[in-house]
Structure 1
Amino acid sequence: MKRHAAPAKPILKRPIFWVILIVIIVIGGFTVGRKPIINLFNQATVTKPKPKPVKLTRHEKKIAKKYHLSPKATANAHSAKVTAIGDSVMVDIVPEMKQVFPRAIVDGEVGRQFYDLPTIAQNLKAQHKLADNVVVNLGTNGPPEKTDISRFLKVVGSKRQVYWINTHVPTQKWESQTNQLITSTAKHNRNVHVVDWHGRSENQPNWFADDEVHLQTKGAIAYVGLLANTMA
């Protein structure tokens, strides 16, 4: 009587299959969520280096205390190249700007309007005086027009950062209009940032002169401090 060969075991029941599969998994790395398992273990042991503490000079420490700045904001302001363009409010704060931003170019003029801004920026650019950080303080004397803002942003370009200080002119009807347009401009341009002076100065009458617009010393310190902290 002829003997029949024993039927072959299915591959999944062969021990050698499972041994080979385990070796492949260990060597190649089994992926979970598109990341190898070995990476999941490595991630648990990775620690981010702690940021180095900012060291300030004695003079910088005095500035930080006076303007209520963090060490980082103080150091950034001290080294930042800034061009500040504004109206009479900017004229008022030149000493404070120079204390906090010693490398700043400050271009302020009494009675300046928004429609002057594109030409001023173009002239400064031609003179190589338009820095990587451009501070704008306009709106005291009238509201901006979208066309003037568009022309200005075209001169500045997309690589420079614009820090637009909104307006505190409670006696003028264009205050809200101006601030809404500044906010809208920032939402639609990644390099434009709002410096919320209107919000910061709310309920601070002792910061202002009798006209509720121009600044007393306390107001000037708060104004420049806010700018430096926002830029940081």
Structure 2
Amino acid sequence: EPAGGDATGTTAPQGTSVPLPTQTFTTLAPVDRPRIAVVGDSLTHTATPELLWQLRFAGWDVVTIDGTLGAPIADRVPVVQQLVATGELDAIVFALGSNDARLNVDTGRDVGEAWRVTQSAAFTALAEAQVVPCVVWVGVNANAPTWKLDQWGAWFNAWLRYYTHYADWTAASADHPEYFLADDVHLSLTGNRAYAELMVATVADACLPAAP
């Protein structure tokens, strides 16, 4: 190539530069994903990695997955209030109830008192979340004799069906002992995956469509 020339052999005057071709870049607008929060107990806690991955893959912006070990419904209400106060949620999932059954057994509450306390807490949680466009509640495993879930859990799940979008963990986990640890409540790795799949599928059916 001649000195001072460009790649085509054309000679440019000394001391001048040859302009480079102009490139145009298009800035893509950020995808507006619907926002979701999950509030639960130890089952949610152990399933968090699966839940986070599956919800994001389904197109949700996950605000939080808050699983607190040993937490009954009433203990989670302040968290619900804080989340709802932001005004930014499109969906919220409750995955609570097993520890209420445990407390009923541990404290020796009679059936009437146990149901009154649990129903009151669940009503409060749902009332706090009523401004959220879509609310889902994952039921307890009413197949398990642990904490009398096979009795009390069936009543609780039937009540949930009436008042909110319901994810049927009892049906989804039936005949799947591999989903559970020895107590038939807490989850194995396989159970974590199945629990997350149920939650994400129910949200997809009940709530705002997730962005692709």
- Shorter-normalised TM range: 0.5 to 0.7
Structure 2: which 5+ residue stretches go unaligned? 1-32, 102-116, 205-212
Correspondence 1:110 to 2:69: yes
Identity of aligned residues (%): 26
Identify the residue that residue 124 of structure 2 maps to in structure 1.
151
Three-state SS of the structure 2 residue aligned to 1:142 is: helix
Once the two structures are superposed, residues 79-122 of structure 1 have per-residue CA deviations (whole angstroms, 9 ceiling, x without a partner) of 44211011111000010011111222101111101111322211
- In 2, the alpha carbon distance for the partners of 1:90 and 1:216 equals 12
Deviation at 1:158, TM superposition (A): 5.0
In structure 2, give the amino acid aligned to 1:122: Q
- In 1, the alpha carbon distance for the partners of 2:88 and 2:159 equals 23
> Are residues 130 and 230 of structure 1, via their aligned partners in 2, closer, same or farther at CA, if it must alter by over 3 Å?
same
Aligned length: 150
> Are residues 156 and 221 of structure 1, via their aligned partners in 2, closer, same or farther at CA, if it must alter by over 3 Å?
same
Q: Would the aligned equivalents of 2:94 and 2:136 in 1 still touch at CA under 8 Å?
A: yes
- In 1, the alpha carbon distance for the partners of 2:88 and 2:153 equals 24
Three-state SS of the structure 1 residue aligned to 2:136 is: strand
- In 2, the alpha carbon distance for the partners of 1:121 and 1:174 equals 25
Map 1:172-191 → 2, pairs under 5 A: 172-187=147-162, 189=163
Identify the residue that residue 98 of structure 2 maps to in structure 1.
140
Runs (4+) off by over 3 Å: none
> Are residues 123 and 154 of structure 1, via their aligned partners in 2, closer, same or farther at CA, if it must alter by over 3 Å?
same
Identify the residue that residue 182 of structure 2 maps to in structure 1.
210
> Are residues 174 and 219 of structure 1, via their aligned partners in 2, closer, same or farther at CA, if it must alter by over 3 Å?
closer
- In 1, the alpha carbon distance for the partners of 2:189 and 2:160 equals 30
TM-score normalized by the length of structure 1: 0.58
Q: Would the aligned equivalents of 1:83 and 1:130 in 2 still touch at CA under 8 Å?
A: no
> Are residues 219 and 80 of structure 1, via their aligned partners in 2, closer, same or farther at CA, if it must alter by over 3 Å?
farther
Match of 1:223 among 180, 195, 205: 195
Deviation at 1:204, TM superposition (A): 0.7
- In 1, the alpha carbon distance for the partners of 2:80 and 2:160 equals 17
**Structure with larger Rg:** 1
Map 1:111-126 → 2, pairs under 5 A: 111-126=70-85
- In 2, the alpha carbon distance for the partners of 1:96 and 1:224 equals 6
In structure 2, give the amino acid aligned to 1:91: H
> Are residues 97 and 129 of structure 1, via their aligned partners in 2, closer, same or farther at CA, if it must alter by over 3 Å?
farther
In structure 2, give the amino acid aligned to 1:112: A
Identify the residue that residue 95 of structure 1 maps to in structure 2.
49
